[in-house]
Structure 1
């Protein structure tokens, strides 16, 4: 029996059915044939390449696997992405940065996929391939061509580390660990201030809008999406939230996209820290805080931050630049319409806790939102 036929039989049994029995059948076939391992890995790289053709990017794959499966699957998909990368075409600096994130010590691939036994490993591989096979098509995001002499800025690498810390903070179920991770992210931001990163951002390559996807992870993803939308709007960008897949697509010029990523990340850290302190104070006063309190807190925080950011942005623009900005905003809107011909609006749910709204508004007033240097 050829190795290809073993893999094909396992796929026919497991990938097109949702039952555990089908999965066990496929895993048993693979576990019994060690010579099929290389072919199984090669087919995984093909699934990854197929995801790229459907508009997915490395960070998107890791994010959806984290949402739907377990840590072992995150390590597996990260390993596949790295194995497939040498056979892929160049795709731009953002893509390169996402690949680099997979190899960082605090990233998802700091250890090799553990091999417990052949059956368990085969089961995990098939579960991952099931997910990759069924991924929907996404809007393809084309990056502006990077000038050959421009290299990746240190701030972008730091942003990747901050993102990884925030992802761990949001994923953990232990408040003390989340607070420690958030504090570490704040420390990194203090050492590499957001203002310096914004000021060092160059002009957009090709002077055309680009786009990036930013994870909007549970819990309280609606309020987080509102916060990201506010940050995007204040920085001459537009954001579209994909709730089922857990991200927003932000469209704008390259320097503005970097500003949105940096500021949104910073404000999430500040909101998490402020909410933790507010809950502690509420508990000390004998009042039990709930999910509704946290949802209301973050919704108020996002609303008030949006007001502050918009006001700050308006004061930084000289009158003679208004025509230039208007032209850029039209270009961004046109790009958004091409990517998303149809969008809908949604109402924010679960905002009914008065104490949470008040605390969130006050936290937003205390948040550090430094204005940009005036554009001239």
Structure 2
């Protein structure tokens, strides 16, 4: 019979002693105290953490999803530990590009840096809290294979260069201090997105390939997550994609063809930056006029911004399709149907959510004006 180790006892106290669904801080403290006594026990506890990370991959989670959940549920302290553990686990697959699923290398490159707590007890506490969270992660709809699964990495498609041009235009729109220039740059980026999507549909219609709808996850962060989810849904629909918000996990899953997904990611990120900057300016103007701005103002601003952006983007998409050759519409319709079918397969039981109304008229008006500037109309 194997001898029970200190790490076994620490895990039993901190991870497995409490009834399901209940938090046991006493068990956590007991486990942390056991690990804090000796450095070699903490090292062994960290090494065993790769099993918990691997279990998360098998349940459909990806590195960026785990980091987001750790920050969301546990705060900033355990994030560096989670990043270190993820690097350690994914390092076991080697450097072969096919060893990790597409997109994972980029996620690993973006993992946050930082030092874990130096105090032995605080380190052990953060580590065990992280493991409790990893154990509690439910199975979610996978958007790609888990590490270790043989994958084929296709060569980059020539059309993949277009999102880079879009990204450059939007970066300039975010950086410029001149509203008129930002409007022109954003409008040009949207025009390129619409053309790019139609061109991809035309290519697929003339030379059908094995290209099928894919999926990716995009963070929807607090405190204005409802407005952000609405904004992301609008951006997705304007680019022939579908978005499904998983509120408890802080992300939306976006389903669409690869080039459209890339466009959604860069446009959504840019609109968030532009919206935040515009809200900061609007708040300053309100304060200068002697009016205090509150959370209600900011919430109303964000909702109006998302609502108006949605109308603007939908209009842009309609105009692009109306100007496209008539013989292109069957290909566009077929791709839209394929995206809808993939979304239905991934999420057969979606529900609608009630949105709290906007209560601050000034915030609503300022948000709507910011949306008009951001979309260049």
Please classify the TM superposition score into its range, dividing by the shorter chain length. Answer: 0.7 to 0.9
| Counterpart in the other structure of 1:165 | none
Cross-structure match for 1:175: none
What CA distance in whole angstroms lies between the structure 2 residues aligned with 1:42 and 1:94? 25
CA RMSD of superposed structures (Å):
3.3
What are the equivalent positions in structure 2 for 1:210-359 lying under 5 Å apart?
210-317=214-321, 318=324, 319-359=326-366
> 2:6 corresponds to which residue?
6
Structure (1 or 2) with the larger CA radius of gyration: 2
Q: Which residue of 2 aligns with 1:139?
A: 141
**Cα drift, residue 263 of structure 1:** 0.3
**Distance in 1 of aligned mates of 2:304 and 2:215:** 27
1:100 pairs with 2:103: no
Distance 1:357 1:196, change over 3 A: closer
Matched, 1:123 2:131: no
Q: Which one of 79, 83, 88 corresponds to residue 88 of structure 2?
A: 83
Pick one of 41, 57, 63 that aligns with 1:58: 63
Verify the 8 A CA contact 1:309 1:369 in the aligned structure 2.
no
How far off its partner does 1:113 sit? 2.4
Q: Deviations over 1:288-329 (max 9, x none)?
A: 211111111111111111111111112223122111111001
Q: Which runs of 5 or more residues in structure 1 are unaligned?
A: 103-107, 163-181, 371-376
> What does residue 105 of structure 1 align with?
none
- Mapped to 1, the partners of 2:211 and 2:142 lie a distance apart of 19
Aligned CA distance change for structure 1 residues 155 and 255 (closer, same or farther; 3 Å) = closer
Aligned pair count reads 339
TM-score (norm 1): 0.81
Q: CA deviation at 1:257?
A: 0.4
What SS does the aligned partner of 2:243 have?
A: strand
The verdict on how the C-alpha distance between 1:73 and 1:194 changes in structure 2, with shifts beyond 3 A counting, is farther
Using the TM superposition, give the Cα deviation of residue 73 of structure 1 relative to its aligned residue in structure 2, in angstroms.
Answer: 0.6
Q: Say which structure, 1 or 2, has more relative contact order (CA 8 Å, 6+ apart).
A: 2
Deviations 1:191-221 (A, max 9, x none): 9995799689996983100001100001111
Distance 1:261 1:72 in 2: 28
Unaligned runs of 5+ in 2: 146-150, 177-181
The Cα shift of 1:98 comes to: 0.7
The TM-score with structure 2 as length reference comes to: 0.81
The Cα shift of 1:123 comes to: 1.1
**For residues 80 and 361 of structure 1, what CA distance do their matches in structure 2 show?**
43
Aligned residue for 1:240, secondary structure, equals strand
Match of 1:365 among 349, 363, 372: 372
2:110 match: secondary structure: helix
1:22 paired to 2:27: yes
Report the counterpart of residue 179 of structure 2 in structure 1.
Answer: none
Q: 1:153 to 1:112 in 2, by over 3 A?
A: farther
Alpha-carbon spacing, 1:47–1:277, altered in 2? closer, same or farther (3 Å) = same
For 1:149 and 1:290, the matched residues in 2 are separated by 47
SS of the residue corresponding to residue 207 of structure 1 reads coil
Corresponding residue SS for 2:121: helix
